Amino acid sequence: MSELKKSTRTSFAEALLEVGEKNSNVVVVAADSASRYGDFVKRFPERSFNVGIAEQTMVGVAAGLALSGKIPAVTSYANFLAFRAIEQVRVDVATANLNVKMIGTDTGFSSAWLGFTHLALEDVAAVRALPNIVIIDPADAMEAYSATKAMFDYIGPVYMRLRGRKDEPVIFTKEDKFEIGKGRVLVEGKDVLIVACGGALYDSLKAAEILRLKGIYATVVNMATVRPVDKKLLTELTSYLDKVVTVEHHNITGGLGSAVAEFLAEKGSGVKFLRMGVKDRFGTAGSEEMLKRHFGLDSGAIAETVENFIKEIS
């Protein structure tokens, strides 16, 4: 991990501009959220639309554009996209598999002081309940960049979670490959499997370091694609790791933890399992660091929880 810090939103905008330069069918629709598209709007004003504070219409307009061969992006605070406009996502986009790219921003704890209305901790659950939509939760700005490129290469609806703070830690490099549906082992260890995504990956990696000093060796997987979750990798890893912990900046219901649990349970893997995330509570105002501590998701708390989990079941 480097000392670099960069916003996933900034990276998304950089990748979008490059994608837009190459493909004139790429268009953007904002709901008073055009700044998220960065320079694309300045470079391609004729391909940039803004319907005002009207997320439902934003998604509907995008569906109409997709039906005429355009590749539209829509964006808003994740809650206003994944909740306010969920029916438009369902009826207009998901059912016909339309090629619409949906970017929910300020997810997890990154909207911080804006408080519970803006803290997106249930968006993945809402979107994951709908068929057809690929869900990506990039761990850092570098991954957000490559995931944005991959999202536009893919034909079909995608929901991508971004954060949008300048101080987001950078984990990867631009050269790191991203492939939809592929998890990646970042650390190998024999004692426990930690599966994380999005903003939770950084602290999971730090937690693995803390655990290592205590003689507990964790395998850490970046599961940036929440759907389709990488079943092949989970199968491989659980053939020799029998303790699994998922970590996400999301409610423990319906997100990464649920996706992994559903797969492993139905497979009859028999692993001991723990979901870490927000435990069926709503968010509250606070800095990102404060909120991570509040919900027991900073690196120290993750390490401690994993350690206790292993002790209890051993």
Partner 1 sequence: MAITKEKVEELSEIARRIRRHIIEMTAEAGSGHPGGSLSCTDILVTLYFHVMKVDPKNPNWPERDRFVLSKGHAAPALYAVLAEKGYFPTEELKTLRKIDSMLQGHPDMKNTPGVDMTTGSLGQGLSSANGMAIAGKLDGKDYRVYVLLGDGELEEGQVWEAAMAAAHYKLDNLTAFVDHNGLQIDGPITQVMSPEIIQEKFRAFGWHVIDVDGHDFEEIAGAIEEAKNIKGRPTVIVAKTVKGKGVPYMENQVDWHGKAPSREQAEEALKSLI
| Interacting span for partner 1 (CB under 8 A) from 9-17, 51-59, 180-188, 288-296 | 51-59
Residues 30-49 that bind partner 1 (CB under 8 A): 46-47, 49
Return d(Cα 53, Cα 74) in angstroms, integer. Answer: 13
**Does residue 74 interact with partner 1 by CB under 8 A?**
no
Nearer to partner 1, 23 or 173 (CB): 23
Of these, 95, 253, 269, 305, which contacts partner 1 (CB under 8 A)? 95
| Interacting span for partner 1 (CB under 8 A) from 3-11, 68-76, 202-210, 247-255 | 68-76
Q: To 5 degrees, how large is the angle CA 225–CA 139–CA 93?
A: 40
Of these, 4, 23, 52, 173, which contacts partner 1 (CB under 8 A)? 52
User: Least distance to partner 1 from the beta carbon of 87, Å?
Assistant: 6
User: Least distance to partner 1 from the beta carbon of 69, Å?
Assistant: 7
- Which residues, in sequence order, are CB contacts of 204 under 8 Å at separation 6+? 194, 196, 220, 247, 299, 302
Of these, 18, 34, 91, 156, which contacts partner 1 (CB under 8 A)? 91
Number of residues that bind partner 1 (CB under 8 A): 29
* Identity of residue 153: D
Q: To 5 degrees, how large is the angle CA 218–CA 202–CA 207?
A: 40
| Interacting span for partner 1 (CB under 8 A) from 66-74, 138-146, 242-250, 270-278 | 66-74
Give me the residues that bind partner 1 (CB under 8 A), please.
Answer: 27, 29, 46-47, 49, 51-52, 54, 56-57, 59-70, 72, 87-88, 91-92, 95-96
